[in-house]
Structure 1
Amino acid sequence: MPAELPALSAIDAESRRLELATSPFELHGALCGWLAGGGASVREWPAKVLADDAIAAPAEGGALDELRLASASQLDDRSFDFALLLPDTEASLAERSGALFEWCRGFLGAFGLAAGNRQKLSEEGQEALADLARLAAAQPQDEGDEDDEEALVEIEEFVRVAVLLLHGDCVLAAQHRQRLN
């Protein structure tokens, strides 16, 4: 069973200590984009995913280190138990959708850094990446009804599956090809 993500409050506190100018949601999206694009799971991941070598490595065993280890474990696990770091369901629709769109923005940037132009995406992977780009450009709405709540849950599930698909295209397929050669 893959590891669980650390508490949002712990991630936020360590991000502030490291003076990272990004939300925990965008940061987790960036980490997952980096890993899904084939980037290495290394302790100094914030410097890599935020493209800033001046960022110090998180403390070993700290919330950001745990976030990296849990995310890498979840992506590699065959049970599809991958989780997005998002506000809980008690938060407003605007807060939750805004966090999801931030997550997608972080994912896209770091995915591009890790995968570069060497990515060999399936047709489904190309479509998923285009859909994630549309979500990254979206703006949250202030209010919504039950239908909007249901739509957000479906979009979150789509993002989760899209990330697993892209990770499969870029990382798992490459590992499989190496084993065949």
Structure 2
Amino acid sequence: MTTNNAAPDSRAISDSLARELLRDRDINCPRCDYPLRDATTNTCPECGCQLTVTVCDASNPEPSKRLIKAGALLLFLFSVASVIGNIASLITDLIIDNGPVTLVHGIFYFGAQVFWMCMLFWTARLWSRTRKNRPTPPRAVLKPAIVCVVMAFLGAGLITYSAFLVAWTFL
């Protein structure tokens, strides 16, 4: 005699939990705002949006707070590097008045400002997702956190390359 001790599929559990949640509750579709009261399936009949249930631990908000602190630290470090790089580039432009330094200064200044604005946007988005009074699953803040890290590395590469080009003009 064999017994099947395999765990049920998590997708099936999520579907059954979503159907159970929709029963006797006034919940609207997040995409089209269609009322889903007493729905028999976990998909919206109007737009086809599939509803899933996410369970998170409300007593442990630490992963979200760590991501916020990491995003703020990356934004601060990038801002400091951008300001130092801009000052160095301006001083170099004032001391040596030649074309390549002016070109590098322009590329660096505008490129760094664009990266800084993008990092500020994504960090603000990360903060707005985790500052609500409800528990936030780590998956909801993962995309803004990854974009902040990627933007920080791309911005640091831009700063390093521009500083290298400015230093190259001294040699």
TM-score (norm 2): 0.39
Q: Which has the larger radius of gyration?
A: 2
TM-score (norm 1): 0.38
Higher relative contact order (CA 8 A, sep 6+): 1
